[in-house]
A and B are shown apart, each in its own frame.
Chain A
Amino acid sequence: MINTCALILAGLVAAPLAGGLVNGLDRILTARFQARVGPPVVQPFYDVVKLLGKEKTVVNVWQAFCAYCYLAATAISVVLFFLQSDLLLILFIQAVGAVFLVIGALSSTSPYSQVGAQRELLQILSYEPLLVLVTVGIYLETGSFKIGQVYAWDEPLLLKLPFLFVVLGYALTIKLRKSPFDLSTSHHGHQELVKGLLTDYSGPFLALTEIGHWFEVVLILGLCSLFWATSWIGMIIIVATTYFLEIVIDNVSARMNWRWMLGYVWAMGLTLSVVNLVWLYVR
């Protein structure tokens, strides 16, 4: 019982803190790649606290409602992950959160929000099947959707599911909205899309979506850690390497359009998944 409470607390408090720090490191590394110094590592926290203290302005009440729902859904999915619950359940709750964010953006009439929301829907459409396929692969190997069992598995999954790990990498890049998949909220808010999906979220509600995003980062890095669950060191190395590669890819690539994303990610992702799954099956 006490253990459960501790895990829930860890999910609710430690996870967003970790997500924020990861975000800060991301900004510093990106700045270093561009020969700049970059902000302090706790910058994301300054941003969120500032936003929480700003005046509340909403386009309509639904938007505020959606921001709360998004935060709740992402928080629940991370807590369930910490409680070592069912992978499929976690993915579905995470998807509900993502859809609420889109609905919130669609509830405003601003063309930037609308375009951003449509693009986000396409992004969800590209990565959701991949995430499900990765889960199927994990199930075929370990015989369970329970995270507890996956962590207890005595062989690193990466050796059996190498292609599915690459597929998870695609999903991760899209989910983190990094280049070349930063279609729905452009990195730099002064481009053609302004801030896309997030244009009309402002002040405290923008802060909520930001905290929700930290939860998502932690969730996806948690999914990565499943692939080398036999030792702590392996877990840390695999998570750190994956995220570092994300930042490199983010910095060396330009934004592509949604047709390319859908075609490329589905073609590559589905082929790699099927090859890996067939190999698992016939072995």
Chain B
Amino acid sequence: MFKRMITESRIKSPWLLHYDCGSCNGCDIEVLACLTPVYDIERFGIVNVGNPMHADILLVTGTVNHRNKKVLVNLYDQMPHPKVVVAIGSCGLSGGIFREAYNVVGGVDKVIPVDVYVPGCPAKPEAIIDGVVIGLQKFHEKM
């Protein structure tokens, strides 16, 4: 019963950490738009915490390059289990238009395991919320 309660609460209270890897800021603006009164993701108990030690879900926007891949791995490692990673935008998925650049490693999944991919350039706020909801369902599987 406790297990059920905890899973239920996990789904009702996802705390987000948003990391801007090497994004053009298009996707970041859309992520932050989710917090505004129009979308108001706090309705679902979602809080943008900015602290990996408190976070359940890691939202990553932008391409990974050789400099910031260490930061990304560090943030991921600091998050306590269970955790879910959501990659946002074409850049987060594959490297996007920056794919060919000399310093780019590629998508987020080259460095850390990704659970949900949200496509778009930039991804729409609705799509980002959908991605987070799908991520929440992954908590069931991670039990």
A46 touches B45 (CB 8 A): yes
In the bound complex, residues from chain A placing their C-beta under 8 Å from that of B6 are 49-50, 52-53
The CA of A189 and the CA of B80, in the complex, are separated in Å by: 17
Q: Are B51's CB and A39's CB within 8 A?
A: no
Q: What does DSSP make chain A's interface, helix, strand, loop or mixed? A: loop
- Is B12 a contact of A43 with CB atoms below 8 Å? yes
Given the known interface contacts A37-B43, A38-B43, A55-B81, the answer about A50 and B10 at a Cβ–Cβ threshold of 8 Å is: yes
- Min CB distance B42 to A, Å, is 5
Q: Return the chain B residue nearest A43 by Cβ.
A: B45
Residues of A contacting B12 in the complex (Cβ-Cβ under 8 angstroms): 40, 43, 46, 50
If A43-B45, A49-B9, A190-B48 touch, whether A55 touches B40 (CB-CB below 8 Å) is no
Query: A53 contacts B45, CB within 8 Å?
Result: no
* Interface pick from A73-81, A92-100, A139-147, A196-204: A196-204
Q: Which of B5, B7, B8, B53 contacts A57 (CB 8 A)?
A: B53
- Docked Cα-Cα span, A55 to B52, in Å, equals 13
User: In the docked arrangement, what's the CA distance between A106 and B61, Å?
Assistant: 33
- Considering the chains assembled together, what is the distance between the CA atoms of A234 and B49 in angstroms? 39
Instruction: Report the interface size for chain B: residues with CB under 8 A from the other chain.
Output: 27
In the complex, are the beta carbons of B45 and A195 less than 8 A apart? no
Chain B residue at smallest Cβ distance from A48: B9
Measured CB to CB, the closest approach of chain A to B87, in angstroms, equals 20
CB neighbors of A among B52-111 (8 A): 53-54, 56, 80-82
Q: Is the CB of A202 within 8 A of B53?
A: yes
The verdict on A190 contacting B49 (CB below 8 Å), with A43-B12, A46-B9 known, is yes
Known: A189-B49, A194-B51. A57 touches B42 (CB 8 A): no
Q: Nearest residue in B to A52 (C-beta to C-beta)?
A: B6
B127 at the interface (CB under 8 A from A): no
Known contacts: A50-B6, A53-B10, A202-B80. The answer to whether A39 contacts B53 by CB under 8 A is no
Nearest-neighbour CB distance to chain A for B71, whole angstroms, equals 15
Question: What's the minimum C-beta distance from B107 to chain A, rounded to whole angstroms?
Answer: 24
Report whether A202 and B54 are in contact in the complex, using a CB–CB cutoff of 8 Å: yes
Is B33 close to A, CB under 8 A? no
Query: Which of the residues B7, B44, B50 comes within 8 Å of A194, measured between beta carbons?
Result: B50
With both beta carbons as reference points, the residue of chain B lying nearest to A204 in the complex is identified as B80
Tell whether, in the assembled complex, residue B81 and residue A54 are in contact, meaning their CB atoms are under 8 Å apart.
yes
Interface string of A29-63 (1 = CB under 8 A from B): 00100111111100101110110111111000000
What is the chain A residue whose CB lies nearest that of B49? A189
Q: Is A7 an interface residue (CB 8 A)?
A: no
Q: Is B47 an interface residue (CB 8 A)?
A: yes
Contacting residues, chain A, for B18 (C-beta < 8 A)? 190
Give the residue of A36, A43, A49, A191 whose beta carbon is less than 8 angstroms from that of B50: A191
Q: Which residue of B lies closest to A200 (CB)?
A: B53
B50 touches A190 (CB 8 A): yes
Between A and B, 10 residue pairs with Cβ closer than 8 Å are A27-B42, A36-B37, A40-B12, A46-B9, A47-B9, A53-B10, A189-B48, A189-B54, A202-B53, A203-B80
B residues in contact (CB < 8 Å) with A:
5-10, 12-13, 15, 18, 37, 40, 42-45, 47-51, 53-54, 56, 80-82
8 smallest CB-CB distances across A and B, nearest first, come from: A190-B50, A53-B6, A202-B53, A49-B9, A55-B80, A46-B12, A50-B9, A46-B13
Given A35-B37, A190-B50, 20 additional A-B pairs, CB 8 A: A36-B43, A38-B43, A43-B13, A45-B9, A46-B13, A46-B45, A47-B13, A49-B6, A49-B9, A50-B13, A54-B82, A55-B81, A57-B53, A188-B48, A189-B51, A190-B48, A190-B49, A199-B53, A203-B80, A206-B54
